[in-house]
Amino acid sequence: MTAGPRPTMERYDALYRLYEEFDTDTLRDHQEFVDLFPPVDSRVALAHWEDASEALAARKDEIRAAFPDGMETYASLAALATREQAFTGLDLYTKHGRGVNVLVLDVDETLRSAGATDNEIPRETLSLLRRFHDEGFPIVICTGQTLENVKGFLVQGLGDELVHSGRVSVVYEAGTGVFTPGHGARTKRLLYENLDAEIRDVFDRVRSRVLSGAPDDVRRGCHLQGNEFNVTLKPNFETGSDRASSVIDEALVYLLDLVEETVADAVDADPDREGYARAHYADADPEIRGALETAGERPDVDAGGVPDALGDAFERVDVAYYEADAAEIGSRELNKVVGVETALSVLGVETPPAC
Contacts of residue 68, defined as CB under 8 A and 6 or more positions apart, other chains included, come to none
What's residue 326's pLDDT? 96
Annotate 73-86 with b (16+ C-beta within 10 A) or e (fewer).
bbbbbbbbbeeeeb
The amino acid occupying position 19 is Y
What's residue 39's pLDDT? 66
Which pairing describes strands 317-322 and 231-235: parallel, antiparallel, or unpaired?
A: unpaired
The amino acid occupying position 149 is N
Helices within the chain (DSSP H only): 8-21, 24-36, 43-66, 71-80, 83-96, 114-117, 123-134, 147-158, 160-163, 197-209, 216-221, 242-266, 276-284, 286-294, 308-314, 336-347
**Count, residues in the chain:** 355
Eight-class DSSP state of 338: H
| Alpha-carbon gap, residue 116 to 120, rounded angstroms | 9
Domain ranges of the chain: 8-96, 103-193+336-347, 197-331
What's residue 117's pLDDT? 43
| Alpha-carbon gap, residue 316 to 78, rounded angstroms | 49
Return the number of other C-beta atoms located less than 10 Å from residue 260's C-beta.
24
What's residue 1's pLDDT? 42
8 A C-beta contact, residue 263 and residue 203: no
Run means of pLDDT, 10 residues per run, the chain, 355 residues = 57 93 94 82 84 92 87 87 94 85 81 57 84 91 90 87 94 95 95 94 95 96 95 96 96 96 87 86 96 91 90 95 96 93 93 56
8 A C-beta contact, residue 323 and residue 308: no
Q: Which CATH architecture has domain 103-193+336-347?
A: 3-Layer(aba) Sandwich (3.40)
What's residue 35's pLDDT? 87
What's residue 116's pLDDT? 47
pLDDT one-digit tens code per residue, 275-307 = 999 999 999 999 999 999 998 998 888 888 899
